[in-house]
Amino acid sequence: MRLLQLRNLAYSLIFILFTSCKTYKLNDAKPISTSEKTVENLYFSSNEDYVYKCQMDIYKNHVSGILIIKKINAATHRVVLTSDFGNKLIDFEISEEDFKLNYVLPDMDKKIVINFLKNDFRELLKQSYPVTESFENTTDYIYESKSGKKVYYLFFNKDNRLLKQIVYTKNNKEKIDFTFDAKKHIFADGLNLQHKDFKINIKLFQITETE
């Protein structure tokens, strides 16, 4: 059953390449003046292991397991996904510039699957964002960060200054919405990664917490 699920996951990823996504607009927010030049996502910045229960839904395919993320140097994280029974599914090292695949289960060894995971985790683990414009709404400070055709919107809660959401867009199209549940700046208790151009959703739930 596990191998069949992984094969279906690969086929679904091939299909979703032909879908489109919506134009993103920042609603109910006004520009503000700020001294912030750079903002950061610090949720994966500790050298301790980040261990989560992982659920992936890709169209009608559901895959669950244990996800471990570890920062191994200033620029690179190691990401390991295992089954619920501890069997390794994929193991890779990733930074903004490099990607090294250490292991992948043969049924997941499809270019489309590898690229999907590489691109999503590269965006998730991106830490530093130069601020190009600042906004606010009733609950959040919102920082816009541009990088070529990519634009990111980072939402920080006004009360506790914790990062609660990152919206990643490309060519003015909304690509991925990262929503965080956190009590600390360096650790997210939960994460919901929602693609906007096709039916892919990844949810992470805390298993162990970094100090």
What is the rounded CA–CA span in Å between residue 143 and residue 156? 8
Percent of the chain scoring above 70 in pLDDT: 88
* Residue 13 or residue 99, greater confidence: 99
pLDDT (tens digit, 9 = 90+) per residue, 172-182? 899 999 999 99
What single-letter DSSP state applies at residue 86?
S
Q: What is the pLDDT of residues 183-208, one digit of tens each?
A: 999 999 999 999 987 778 999 999 86
Q: What is the pLDDT of residues 58-79, one digit of tens each?
A: 777 788 999 999 999 999 999 9
Whether 152 contacts 169, CB under 8 Å: yes
Cβ-based neighbours of 186, under 8 Å, separated by 6 or more: 42, 43, 45, 46, 210
CATH architecture of the domain covering 2-208? Clam (2.50)
Comparing 60 with 128, the larger pLDDT belongs to: 128
Residue with tokens 């029974």: 85
User: Could you tell me the residue ranges of all domains in the chain?
Assistant: 2-208
Give the pLDDT confidence of 136-154 residue by residue, as tens digits.
999 999 999 999 999 999 9
Q: If residue 118 lies in a helix (H) or strand (E), which one and from where to where?
A: helix 111-124
pTM exceeds 0.95 for this model: no
Structure letter (DSSP) for residue 23: B
* Apex 111 CA angle, 22 and 176, nearest 5: 25
